[in-house]
Amino acid sequence: MQDLKSALLAKDAEKVSVLRSIKSAITYAEVARGVKGGAGLSDQEILEVMSKESKKRQESAELFTKGGATERADKELREKAIIDTYLPDALSNDDIAKLVDQAISEMGELSPQTMGRVIGRVKELSKGAADGGAIAGVVKERMGK
């Protein structure tokens, strides 16, 4: 909220717009989960919402670029950069691989049937700092070995 007030005072329209959209997405998630007005979302759940919003901006930018709308793509990437300042640094593939190995050792063996549980466990262990696609890639790589 303090960043939103600061952006309003600085008349930074783009940042105000992004922060309001994030606030709206969080409120929507609270209502969807039935926690509005109570304790609210946990920090982990808020990070998940923000990560989804960042990913949406990235996907939109890619589509705008393919469609030749570079100005709109640039705007989406600027919004993504603002959101990313509130997210933890992404884990490297080596760090993800270590977490995947830890999850596999906890669960026993890795098979196509347990792949989803391993990915879920790695997401828990990474506390939102690892992208689901990157985790899935490492898990698939381990299955191929």
Domain ranges of the chain: 2-84, 93-144
Please report, as a single letter, which amino acid is at residue 1. Answer: M
pLDDT confidence of residue 54: 92
Instruction: Indicate if the pLDDT at residue 18 is higher than 80.
Output: yes
Do 93-144 and 2-84 have the same topology in CATH?
A: no
Token pair belonging to 25: 């997405």
Tell the CATH topology of 2-84: Hypothetical Protein Yqey; Chain: A; domain1 (1.10.1510)
- 75, exposed or middle or buried, with CB in 10 Å at 0-12, 13-18, 19+? middle
Instruction: Indicate if the pLDDT at residue 112 is higher than 80.
Output: no
Sign, CA dihedral 132-72-79-35, equals negative
Q: What is the pTM of this model?
A: 0.73
- CATH of the domain spanning 93-144: 1.10.10
Render pLDDT for 63-97 as a digit per residue (tens, 0 to 9): 999 999 999 999 999 999 999 999 888 788 888 88
